[in-house]
Amino acid sequence: MAGLLRQGRGEQDEEDEKDKKDKENEEEQASADRAGWPIKLRSLTRCVKYATGIGENGPMAASDVVEQQEQPWSRQRLRSTNERLLLDRLRALGSASRAQLARETGLSKPTVSSALASLESAGLVHEVGTHAPERGRTAVLYAPDPAAGYALGIDVGRGWLRVAVADLDGTLVARSDVRNRARGSGAMADLLVGTARQVVANSGVDPAAVVHGVVGTPGVYDERQRRVRYAMHLPGWGRAGLFDRMRAELGVPLEVHNDANLAALGEYTYGVGAGSRLFAYIMIGTGLGMGVVSEGRPFTGAHGLAGEIGFLPWPGQQRKPERLEDAVSGVAVVETARRLGMTGQLTAKSVFDAARQGDQAAVEAVRLEGERIAHTVAAAAAVLDPDLVVLGGGVGHSVDLLLRPVRDHLRTLTPLRPKLAPSRLGEDAVLLGAVATALGTARDLVFERRSVAS
Half-sphere exposure of residue 96, counting CA atoms within 13 Å on the CB side?
Answer: 22
Q: What is the pLDDT along the chain (454 residues), one digit of tens a residue?
A: 444 334 444 444 544 555 555 555 554 444 434 333 333 323 323 333 333 333 444 444 433 433 344 455 588 888 899 999 999 999 999 999 999 999 999 999 999 999 999 999 999 999 998 887 767 788 899 999 999 999 999 999 999 999 999 999 999 999 999 999 998 999 999 999 999 999 999 999 999 999 999 999 999 999 999 999 999 889 899 999 999 999 999 999 999 999 999 999 999 999 999 999 999 999 999 899 999 999 999 999 999 999 999 999 998 766 666 899 999 999 999 999 999 999 999 999 999 999 999 999 999 999 999 999 999 999 999 999 999 999 999 887 798 999 999 999 999 999 999 999 999 999 999 999 999 999 999 999 999 987 555 5
Half-sphere exposure of residue 214, counting CA atoms within 13 Å on the CB side?
Answer: 26
In Å, what is the CA distance from 448 to each residue of 116, 211, 444?
16, 12, 6
Distance, CA of 300 to CA of 302 (rounded, Å)? 7
Residue 298: Cβ within 10 Å count: 22
Q: In this structure, what DSSP letter does residue 154 have?
A: E
Distance, CA of 318 to CA of 76 (rounded, Å)? 68
Long-range pairs for 366-370 at CB < 8 Å and ≥24 separation? 366/333, 366/398, 366/401, 366/402, 366/405, 367/405, 368/336, 369/328, 369/332, 369/333, 369/336, 369/395, 369/402, 369/405, 370/401, 370/402, 370/403, 370/404, 370/405, 370/406, 370/408, 370/409
Q: What per-residue confidence (pLDDT) applies to 105?
A: 93
Give φ, ψ of 282 to 5 degrees: -95, 120
Q: What per-residue confidence (pLDDT) applies to 71?
A: 52
- Cβ pair 103, 89 in contact under 8 A: no
In Å, what is the CA distance from 66 to each residue of 27, 62, 88, 237?
29, 6, 31, 55
Q: What per-residue confidence (pLDDT) applies to 390?
A: 97
**In terms of C-beta density within 10 A (0-12 exposed, 13-18 middle, 19 or more buried), how is residue 280 classed?**
buried
Which domains can be identified in the chain, with CATH numbers?
73-144 (1.10.10.10), 148-262+432-453 (3.30.420.40), 273-424 (3.30.420.40)
Rounded (5°) CA angle 418-421-425: 140
Give 257's strand partners: 216
Distance, CA of 351 to CA of 364 (rounded, Å)? 10
Q: What per-residue confidence (pLDDT) applies to 76?
A: 83
- Cβ pair 108, 148 in contact under 8 A: no
| Cα–Cα nearest to 434, from 279, 252, 269 | 269
Runs of H (alpha helix) within 55-156: 62-68, 75-93, 98-105, 109-121
Q: Provide CB contacts within 8 A for 70, sequence distance 6+.
A: 39, 40, 43
Longest dimension (CA), the chain: 95
Helix (H, G, I), strand (E, B) or coil at 315: coil
* Angle between helix 98-105 and 75-93 (nearest 10): 110
- Polymer length in residues for the chain: 454
